[in-house]
Amino acid sequence: MAHKYSIPVTLTEHSRIDTVDFGNIPFGKVISDHMFIVDYNGKQWVNPRIEPFRRMDMSPANVALHYGQSIFEGLKASKRKGEPVLFRADLHARRMNVSAERMCMPLLPEDLFLQGLRMLVDLDRKWIPGQEGHSLYVRPIMFATDEYFGVHASETYQFIIFTGPVGPYYPKPVKLWVEEVFTRASLGGVGEAKCAGNYGPSLLPAQRAKKAGYDQVMWMDAVEKKYVQEVGTMNLFFVMDDKVITPATTGTILRGITRDSFMTLLKDWGYTMEDRQLSIAEIADAYWRGTLQECFGAGTAAVVSHVSDITWRDRKMELPPVDERHRPVGTRLKNYMDQLRSGQVADEYDWLQSCEGSGVWDMVEETAGSAATV
């Protein structure tokens, strides 16, 4: 049985929810009222609490700023039959610890992660949008807090979860550029870790691609520049020759939780599912033979993001229109995920965790002591 933690709650005195236009939510720019915080004192995690979201004081000598000891996760909360639910939050807690271990950071008890998360989402449940394709994005982060500019692993850390309502990450199908100059990750590196340092180097290639008229880059392997890896924010799936193929996670690709879920669904639905190395030449060959049927990204933010075209050197591969007839696999997966989160289909895989009964309101009553309101 999971340990039960005492997590005091301090309510915000002035909620900002009435200032938000929920019909027009830019992705990542709107933050909810509260955040969950825990500190690591060099020996153990202490002082878990929920507080109003606020700015932080930080020393310029903070180790995370100099040496990149910073990791994060991303998951979503939605409302299923009116109650807030999380999608496979246990796997996100586990993956965060995988990242922490790789980055020489302390492991966070997964039951503490999940309890604080459920309480926070339950507290800010009014921030969960009701529109289709919208959700409450959840961002857990862990970072070093030592104030010392010698190269070393920090002894102290802070873990924070905050949230914000979001709309679709990619509102339309995306155009991809096959990147053969820059690389995202190499074997033995941190490609499987969700660390800040993975994303900074990706910004210049992505910016160059956008200036050339593309939405994102399709990464190739670091050695031969021939095997498909992932897109900047998503794992990739290809439907070709009547099979669904996704690049293998060989240590350089993030082990996506949406990716894992899709593989389970596709196998159970009777598709031929292959998890293996896939070269860009094989994809181009299928395209010119007329057997490349679909390409879509899979990730927490995008869920399913259809790819409209792929440009490899001087070759542009245009995929079929995005509708149920031309894109049956990606469309079926997207519909299933939307229906699962809203309660239109049964949760037969036990992927959803309810935030109902989190105990947050009992802690509010114990710790409020004022007229503060959500």
d(CA 341, CA 355): 13
- Label residue 158 exposed, middle or buried (CB < 10 Å: 0-12, 13-18, 19+): middle
- Label residue 288 exposed, middle or buried (CB < 10 Å: 0-12, 13-18, 19+): exposed
Beta-carbon neighbour count of residue 214 at 10 Å?
20
Residue labelled with tokens 């996760």: 73
Q: What is the pLDDT of residue 169?
A: 81
Q: pLDDT tens digits, residue range 102-151?
A: 999 999 999 999 999 999 999 999 999 988 888 999 999 999 999 998 99
Q: What are phi and psi of 338, to 5 degrees?
A: -65, -45
- Asked if 96 contacts 70 with a C-beta cutoff of 8 angstroms, the reply is no
71 to 2, 65, 157, 292: CA distances (angstroms): 24, 12, 11, 36
Q: What is the pLDDT of residue 372?
A: 40
User: What is the per-residue DSSP string for 193-226?
Assistant: S-BHHHHGGGHHHHHHHHHTT-SEEEEE-TTTS-
- State what percent of residues in the chain have pLDDT above 70: 97
Average pLDDT over residues 208-220: 97
Taking the CA of residue 61 as centre, how many other CA atoms within 13 Å lie in the half-sphere pointing to its CB? 8
Closest CA to 88 of 258, 246, 236, 235: 258
Q: For residue 314, give every residue at least 6 positions away whose Cβ sits within 8 Å of its Cβ, in sequence order, or none.
A: none
Q: pLDDT tens digits, residue range 9-58?
A: 999 999 999 999 998 998 899 999 999 999 999 999 999 999 999 999 99
Confidence label for 171 from pLDDT (cuts 50, 70 and 90):
confident
Domains of the chain: 17-169+351-363 (3.30.470.10), 174-321 (3.20.10.10)
Q: What is the pLDDT of residue 371?
A: 38
The gap between the terminal CA atoms of the chain, to the nearest Å, is 31
- Asked if 134 contacts 233 with a C-beta cutoff of 8 angstroms, the reply is no
Q: What are phi and psi of 83, to 5 degrees?
A: -110, 140
Total residues found in the chain within this entry: 374
Res. 170: pLDDT tops 90:
no
